Chain A
Amino acid sequence: MARKEYDVLIIGSGHSGGMAANVLTKKGVSCLMLNAGPEVDFSRDRTTKAAHELPYRGFNKPGRLPHVYQANEFNANQWVDEKENPYTYDPGKPYNWVRVRLLGGRSLFWSRQSFRLSDFEFKAADIDGRGDNWPISHADLAPYYSQVESIFRVTGRKEGWPQFPDGNFVESNFTAPESQCIQRLTELCNQRKIGVSRMRSSQGVNGLASSINLLLPDAVATGKLDIVSNAIVREISVDKKTGLVNGAHFVDRHSKREMHAKARVVVVAAGTLESTRLLLNSGLANSSGVMGHYLHDQIYGVSVVASVPEARDGKAPQGLMGGNVFIPRFRNLTKEDKRDFIKGYCMLINSGGGANPNFFAAYGDELQKKLDSYAGSCVSGSIYGERVPRFENHVRINKAVTDAWGIPVLHIDVKDSDNELNMAKDAANTMEELFKSAGWEILSKTDKFYPPGYSIHEVGTCRMGDNPKISVLNKWNQSHDIKNLFVVDGSAFVTCGWQNPTMTIVSLSMRASEYLAEQMSQRNL
């Protein structure tokens, strides 16, 4: 029996695939969505438990998810099983690939931090003096950011700073008086010309801002979207006569039965590295030779913790402690700001917490007394720092290793440079200097950071550009080589910035999908 040919096949159901389905189906385009994992049912799949009820008392099962530092015994089942879905790297170059294969993908667990990129990122090469610019600017993406912010109900405080573009924020309640501790820090930052703002965050609905509650329901309601779960795409298929893609071969996750679905256009939205793996395994769209290259993300882990002396031993007066602030990038914003690194980082400051036992060389009663004394008196600072996209940081297919469905895996080859190390040192030193200037006692300071991938913000392996010789996609997320192939996730990024990339990914997907629908209506595709 001849099966239906869809207008568009969307591979992946996270934020980017969800937005593609949302836009295309509303324009009357018939879509098929294939997702590698099952549908999640919160009421069935989650239970409140105490740690002592779990087999390992809250420790994760040893060795189960060695690359997912975010994993614990409570959430272990939400992550991709590393034995079923392995990847490889050289021992000296560890990489933490953090994956979710449920319907909705990683959007189910998104932290909801919602930032725009600025032209300090879109035009980074002009500022850094090296690298490449995006083929678009903030002005090109601003109308889409605005629509996405409305759908996701983003809160934020407008600042008017070029490195921190304001958005289409829903009304926010930032009128509560800041604690004296935060006021003191703000004064010190202002003296140093460091702008202090507030976190920008998606409210979503009932605390969830996922594709499964914000994007896919509308698409399903059009009657134009079919979703197939547990469909692991092995290869995108090509019409040998035209060279155009015409569907995908996939394998059922349970039965391992091989299937093929047909479509006029293919939109790849499986997440940066899964999308790239699929395209490399398919042998498509890589005339430039840069597919898989320029993998980068952000550095996490740098932190400084201090204690406010007046708040110790439970003696903090009302209004001294509490609250948090967000400090967007402030380094390398002008040519006069000469540093031993390019790009920048943001800082997150929280007031009112306690001390970590690891900060003290003590045990037993002595340790407990210290913990009691420092409780509620601490200020902690951490950063998100931009890694530099470099050609040599890349992924390739490792044909010697396959996943549980016989699909060759990725070999990831990424290493940090002095730029990341120097940025981390600057961030730790800056936070330490600020806290010391405030008269606070430094309890811990580290300029160490997690291996690449930890941030779950990996981007760049199918980057966009105007020049087909050095980019995989054009400015519409469309393959330079195959006009009916689009890639709408983070792999299209040229630079990641210090910002959580989700708003940019979703906005790019919206923009690309509108372009795609327009091209289809004009019969160019």
Chain B
Amino acid sequence: MKRRRFIKALAAAPAVPALVAQQPLPPQSGRGAGPGGRQTQQEIAQLPLTEAGEIADPVARFFTASQFAALRKLSGILVPPVASYIGALDCDAPEFIDFLVSASPADRQQLYRNGLDALNLQARSKFGKPFADLDATQADAILKPLMATVAWAYDPPKDPVKHFIFQAHQDIRTATRNSIEASTAGASSGRRGLAGAGLFWNPIDPV
């Protein structure tokens, strides 16, 4: 938590939302104007809000304890901090993946559960302990044969464990790259722009 607040403090002013919040409300269109062109909407100040992720720790609740321990270990190995880039464990990527998979269709949930169980099974079979307790050399001995090159993301490896490693690697990278910590670290190291910034479409006249 302390580290999170420190990183937040480092983020001198990426705060586009905060700046936006300070702006006056946009003028109302003619269609919303009242009789005689009078504005019917009262101008109210926008209060500053805080993102939940900035003040609270995520709670993992989908995977079993042994599965989640394996996921944390896997995340730390696949996406460690390198040079000025943060690692998966610096931004709660495993906790985010737990949440993402919990909200996913059954086939993705099964892919992850079976994949993490397979890592634990191999670790116990080869080294007599769960995957989370392996040292770097032991973990490499399991993971390296499971790595596959993939020319096209929609054509993943046929082997289910290799498929899992491919998918998890891709997801952990994205969860890390798109985190607020990565954005802050990027700004601090002089990389231009916000990580994963884009033009967001609001819901358009929903039913």
Contacts and interface: CB of A to CB of B under 8 A. Distances in A.
B96 A253 contact: no
A50 B103 contact: no
Contacts of A358: 149-151, 153, 166, 170
Interface in B128-159: 143-144, 147-155
Interface in B1-48: 14, 16-17, 20, 26
Interface string A46-84: 111111111011110111001001001111111000001
Place the interface of chain B in its size category. Answer: 35 or more
A357 B200 contact: no
Contacts, number: 154
A50 B83 contact: no
A315 interface: no
A402 interface: no
Interface string A499-513: 000000000000000
A151 B94 CA distance: 52
Interface in A274-314: 301, 303
Given A38-B205, A404-B207, A446 B152 contact: yes
A254 B204 CA distance: 13
B149 A361 contact: yes
A74 B200 contact: yes
Contacts of B207: 84, 253-254, 404
Interface in A451-492: none
A102 B204 contact: yes
B53 interface: yes
Given A359-B149, A444-B149, A445-B151, A46 B77 contact: no
Determine which residue in B82, B173, B182, B183 has the highest number of CB atoms from chain A within 10 A of its CB, and name it. B82
Given A368-B83, A446-B155, A51 B205 contact: no
A365 B82 contact: yes
Interface stretch (B64-72, B118-126, B191-199): B191-199
Contacts of A74: 198-201
A361 B147 contact: yes
A82 to B, nearest CB: 13
B113 interface: no
A364 B147 contact: no
Nearest to B178: A51
Nearest to A39: B205
A230 B150 CA distance: 43
Given A77-B203, A77-B204, A365-B80, A48 B198 contact: yes
Nearest to B198: A74
Interface residues of A, number: 55
A52 B196 CA distance: 8
A62 to B, nearest CB: 4
Contacts of B148: 361
Contacts of B175: 57, 59
A48 B199 contact: yes
Contact of A57 (B151, B153, B174): B174
A46 B147 contact: no
A517 B203 CA distance: 39
A45 interface: yes
B104 interface: yes
A362 B16 contact: no
B51 A53 contact: yes
Closest CB pairs A-B (n = 6): A51-B196, A51-B178, A38-B205, A361-B147, A62-B104, A444-B151
Interface of A: 37-40, 43-54, 56-59, 61-63, 66, 69, 72-78, 84, 102, 230, 253-254, 301, 303, 357-365, 368, 404, 444-446, 448, 450
14 contacts: A48-B199, A50-B178, A50-B196, A54-B200, A59-B178, A62-B105, A62-B108, A301-B154, A360-B149, A361-B144, A361-B147, A445-B151, A446-B151, A446-B155
Given A46-B199, A74-B200, 8 more contacts: A37-B205, A46-B200, A51-B196, A58-B196, A62-B103, A77-B203, A444-B151, A446-B151
